[in-house]
Amino acid sequence: MAEPREPVGRGPTGQTYTRIPTVVVQDLHVVYRVHGPARKRGLLRRVATGSASGPGREVHAIRGVTFAAYEGDAIGLIGSNGSGKSTLLRAIAGLIPASSGAIYTRRQPSLLGVNAVLLNDLSGERNVVLGCLAMGMRRAEVTPRVAEIIEFSGINDRGDFASMPMRTYSAGMAARLRFAIAAAKEHDVLLIDEALATGDGKFRRRSAQRVQELRAGAGTVFLVSHDSRAIRESCERTIWLESGVIRMDGPTDEVVDAYEAFIGENS
Amino acid sequence: MARRADEGSSWRWFGDSGGPGDTPDGPGAHEPTVPLREPPPAWQPTPTRGDVPPQAAPSDATPTHAAPTGDRPLMGQPPASVPSSPGSGGESVPFAPFGQPAPYPPITPPVDSSPSGVWRPDADSAPQETRAESSQPEWSQAELAQAESSQSESAPSGVPEPHPAPNPADAETAMIPRVAYYETAILPKVVDKPEAPPTLLDLAIRYGLKPAGTRPSVREYLGQLWSYREFIAAYANGRAIAQYGNTRLGRLWQVLGPLMNAGVYFLVFGVILDLRRGMDNFVGYLTVGIFIFAYTQQVVQQSAASISGQLGLVRAIQFPRASLPIASVLMQLQTSLIAMVVLGVVVLGTREPMRPDWIWLLPALALQTVFNTGLALGVARLGAEFPDIRQVIPHVMRIWFYASGVFYSVDFILANLPEAVGNVVRANPMLIYIELARYSLLENPPLASTFTELWIMGFLWALVAALFGFLYFWRGEPEYGRG
């Protein structure tokens, strides 16, 4: 990076525009439609009035979020459960449409989450191939790297699990494999959803190192976690979301301290 | 807001209730039918009313309200009784989430927390947390609606401007560069680069960022699909393996399934109902029909769930979504190729000779595959948008099955039908693909149309289905993650 890396400024004029943005989110709103079980009101009445039976209920998960992320940033996302962190990541990845507002990205961001469902009846090896192909890699690129990815995930540390169906894996093993798959590709923007929290200490060190490598490759990393230690270790900027709005955005230590104080007084 | 035309309606809308005492069960009792009520006399605008913040007292008297007339007098009460803090509003507002208003009050609207025109009685039955989530957007919509109507209508002078959805995080998110024009004008140049961009969007455009989650052009989309061909093949293959993942015989069921199916139909229609009469080779005739129909049937059933059943994948990785329904077609094509070999053996077993005409089966299957692909794309989008469609599909497919001459010869019934109806029956794409296969495999099958007609219609159906199915699916591309 030829350009200097100032810390991210705050306030409308504090933005360090000398840096190259990778993700720009402008006044984003995301609304989920929920087709849940019927509410208490009778089915007949709902059909007759046509009011509540229509598009289902709506959950306004993100309500007006604005920020920009720059090359080489590692941004932590914190907030209580249901504050919209994962939804924000999905929206940035283009997986969930914005109801209003805009998201601009330099290239296709990749989301790596604990929810990244692969095919549970297939072996780990096949899932590695499938996951890499789904990320847009060529089979010729994938084949030589399968062993390396499985090695990184460490699922073979206790016997040959790579050839076993994924439904036999523990939660931690599956999460490690998913991270290994996602980290196999150079991402311009990598969105990590709780993935690092699941591994053991050894895996966490390895993945933290990999996150550093990805950032060095001029990428931007978003990390969602409830584990403030993981955020403090890997991110220098943190965004605190609460009820779908940004409550705080700034240097990690400042924001995480405020968040912890908030959690403390809340409980 | 049909009531806008009426001058006084905004009054009714806002002031439609009095103080907190008016709405013991506040939001819960609310119905969207509020504007239909007649304003009671007590309700005329009074001088004091001018001080009432308009958003302060929505809610209230609904048809289901316990004693509507009883509380009317309350409405004229001075604004002092209006709940103005979230704390006091909290009692009458059951949607306050666990301890939420207390820790960070800005998130709940400061003035009124009982939204007007949005709460439904049944909301009370929802679990606390869900209700809290779903209530908030409704609140802000109501708030916006109020703000809008108060602006567009003659808001009485002295009424404070209702704050549309006060953003709690405004203070913290001061970095939001929502810089007003006059601010940029007076901003000292030394603060930032001379051309300090007023919005992040300018920044995004300047650096050539692209909007996320937009729909590619048809050509780009086809290109993307082509570059994902390896994924599509691997996914189809993986699904095929996974489908029989926990059976002992595994993929042998791909052969056994159709065979058993044919056996059942032979038992019912061939032996019990004895529809064999007048047909040289009923077993061959029936088996061809069942195998060809099963191909389309499986594709439709599977592709309806191809998006909605894989939301986890769709929400995790960005790839052209059409890969999923296309993979279901590929997976079923694989199955049906195996089934065709079985079919050949069955047909030979019925003492049909093996003829060069058998080769026609391949182009017929190709046309059917194109047709199925279009169908799969269309059904996949339908299934993603209306999950209920999956409950309907089996029944639709059964009617289609009965209409396609699988176990009887359409030729026989055409004689009794008016020509127009007969043409519709003969234009049934499934009948066409089945008859093409019969023509190829059997020596003297009774057919409803001539060979040339069958090819032309089969080709047209494939073309139309693929075109419309693809375009329909493509148009929904950015929305599939919403679920």
Looking at the domain assignment, is residue A198 inside a domain? Answer: yes
> Among the listed ranges A2-6, A238-242, B366-370, B475-479, which one has the minimum average pLDDT value?
A2-6
- pLDDT of amino acid A197: 59
- What is the distance in angstroms between the Cα of A52 and the nearest Cα belonging to chain B? 9
Question: CA dihedral in degrees (B5, B8, B11, B13; nearest 10)?
Answer: -40
- pLDDT of amino acid A8: 41
Any idea how long chain B is?
Answer: 483
Tokens of B372: 């199925």
Question: Are A98 and B480 spatial neighbours (Cβ–Cβ below 8 Å)?
Answer: no
Average pLDDT over residues B188-211: 62
State the DSSP string of B63-99. Answer: TT-S-HHHHGGGGGS-GGGS--SHHHHHHH-TT--TT
DSSP assigned state of B305: T
In this prediction, residue B119 has a pLDDT band, given cuts at 50, 70 and 90, of: very low
- pLDDT of amino acid B382: 93
Highest mean pLDDT among A112-126, A149-163, B12-26, B28-42: A149-163
Task: Check pLDDT > 70 for residue B205.
Answer: yes
Task: Check pLDDT > 50 for residue B408.
Answer: yes
Alpha-carbon distance of B170 to B176, in angstroms, equals: 8
DSSP assigned state of B248: S
Task: Check pLDDT > 70 for residue A86.
Answer: yes
Task: Check pLDDT > 70 for residue A250.
Answer: yes
ipTM score for this prediction: 0.76
Q: Do B231 and A58 touch (CB under 8 A)?
A: no
Question: CA dihedral in degrees (B127, B128, B129, B134; nearest 10)?
Answer: 80
Burial of B110 per CB tally in 10 Å (0-12, 13-18, 19+): middle
Looking at the domain assignment, is residue A132 inside a domain? Answer: yes
DSSP lists the bridge partners of residue A67 as A25
- What is the distance in angstroms between the Cα of A190 and the nearest Cα belonging to chain B? 12
What is the pLDDT of chain A when averaged over all its residues? 76
CB-CB neighbors (< 8 A) of B192 in chain A: 13, 15, 17
Residue ranges per domain, chain B? 2-166, 218-479
- pLDDT of amino acid B75: 43
Task: Check pLDDT > 50 for residue B13.
Answer: no
Looking at the domain assignment, is residue A162 inside a domain? Answer: yes
Q: Chain B: residue nearest A129 by CA?
A: B234
What is the pLDDT of chain B when averaged over all its residues? 69
List b or e across A226-235, with b for residues whose CB sees 16 or more CB atoms inside 10 angstroms: eebebbebbb
Burial of B467 per CB tally in 10 Å (0-12, 13-18, 19+): exposed
Question: Are B454 and B460 spatial neighbours (Cβ–Cβ below 8 Å)?
Answer: no
Average pLDDT over residues B445-460: 88
In this prediction, residue A174 has a pLDDT band, given cuts at 50, 70 and 90, of: confident
In this structure, the number of other CB atoms found within 10 A of the CB of residue B454 comes to 23
Q: Do A59 and B241 touch (CB under 8 A)?
A: no
In this prediction, residue B328 has a pLDDT band, given cuts at 50, 70 and 90, of: very high
**CATH number of the domain within which A206 lies:** 3.40.50.300
With an 8 Å Cβ cutoff, is B314 touching chain A?
yes
- pLDDT of amino acid B10: 39
Q: Sign of dihedral through CA atoms B403, B408, B412, B413?
A: negative
Task: Check pLDDT > 80 for residue A152.
Answer: yes
- pLDDT of amino acid A42: 57
Q: Do B137 and A20 touch (CB under 8 A)?
A: no
Q: Do B167 and A131 touch (CB under 8 A)?
A: no
Q: Chain B: residue nearest A140 by CA?
A: B230
Highest mean pLDDT among A156-160, B73-77, B95-99, B475-479: B475-479
Average pLDDT over residues B423-448: 88
Average pLDDT over residues B25-46: 44
pLDDT in tens, A117-147: 577 788 888 888 888 888 888 889 888 988 8
> Among the listed ranges A166-175, B334-343, B371-380, B382-391, which one has the minimum average pLDDT value?
A166-175
In this structure, the number of other CB atoms found within 10 A of the CB of residue A51 comes to 14
Q: Do A134 and B204 touch (CB under 8 A)?
A: no
Alpha-carbon distance of B289 to B280, in angstroms, equals: 15
> Among the listed ranges B46-55, B206-215, B333-342, B443-452, which one has the minimum average pLDDT value?
B46-55
State the DSSP string of B101-156. Answer: TTT-GGGS-SS--S-SS---GGGGGS-HHHHHHHHHHHHHHHHHHHHHHHHHS-PP
Supply the pTM of this predicted model. Answer: 0.65
Alpha-carbon distance of B151 to B461, in angstroms, equals: 55
Strands A57-70 and B210-211: unpaired
Q: Chain B: residue nearest A34 by CA?
A: B483
Percent of chain B with pLDDT over 70: 57
- pLDDT of amino acid B131: 41
Looking at the domain assignment, is residue A114 inside a domain? Answer: yes
- pLDDT of amino acid B460: 96
Average pLDDT over residues A153-157: 80
Contacts of B354 (CB under 8 A, 6+ apart): B344, B348
> Among the listed ranges A195-199, B177-181, B301-305, B453-457, which one has the minimum average pLDDT value?
B177-181
Angstrom CA distances, A103 to B92, B96, B168, stand at 38, 31, 22
pLDDT in tens, A180-235: 887 787 777 878 776 555 667 777 778 778 777 776 775 788 888 877 887 887 78
Average pLDDT over residues B373-396: 93
Looking at the domain assignment, is residue A49 inside a domain? Answer: no
Task: Check pLDDT > 70 for residue A32.
Answer: yes
Q: Sign of dihedral through CA atoms A98, A102, A106, A111?
A: negative
- pLDDT of amino acid A26: 84
Give the domain range for residue A195: 72-98+107-266
Highest mean pLDDT among B18-27, B173-182, B451-460: B451-460
Looking at the domain assignment, is residue A60 inside a domain? Answer: no
With an 8 Å Cβ cutoff, is B250 touching chain A?
no
In this structure, the number of other CB atoms found within 10 A of the CB of residue A74 comes to 24
Looking at the domain assignment, is residue A11 inside a domain? Answer: no
- pLDDT of amino acid B72: 43
Angstrom CA distances, B156 to B13, B46, B47, stand at 13, 11, 10
Per the structure, how many domains does chain A have? 1
Interface residue of A19, A60, A188, A259 to substitute, partner B, most B CBs within 10 Å: A60
3-state helix, strand, coil in chain B (%, to 5): 65, 0, 35
pLDDT in tens, B46-78: 444 444 444 444 444 444 444 444 444 444 444
State the DSSP string of chain A. Answer: --S--PPPP-STTT--TTSPEEEEEEEEEEEEEE--S--SS-HHHHHHH-STTSS-EEEEEEEEEEEEEETT-EEEEE-STTSSHHHHHHHHTTSS--SEEEEEESS--EEEETT----TTSBHHHHHHHHHHHTT--HHHHGGGHHHHHHHHTGGGGS--TTSBGGGS-HHHHHHHHHHHHHTS--SEEEEESHHHHS-HHHHHHHHHHHHHHHHTT-EEEEE-S-HHHHHHH-SEEEEEETTEEEEEEEHHHHHHHHHHHHHHH-
Looking at the domain assignment, is residue A22 inside a domain? Answer: no
In this structure, the number of other CB atoms found within 10 A of the CB of residue B194 comes to 6
Average pLDDT over residues B392-401: 94
Q: What are phi and psi of B199, to 5 degrees?
A: -135, 160
Radius of gyration of chain A (CA): 20
**Which residue's structure tokens are 């052209």?**
B320
- pLDDT of amino acid B433: 94
- pLDDT of amino acid B396: 95
> Among the listed ranges A19-28, A46-55, A243-252, B202-211, which one has the minimum average pLDDT value?
A46-55
CB-CB neighbors (< 8 A) of B168 in chain A: 243, 245
Task: Check pLDDT > 70 for residue B88.
Answer: no
Question: Are A132 and A184 spatial neighbours (Cβ–Cβ below 8 Å)?
Answer: yes
Highest mean pLDDT among B69-78, B139-148, B274-283: B274-283
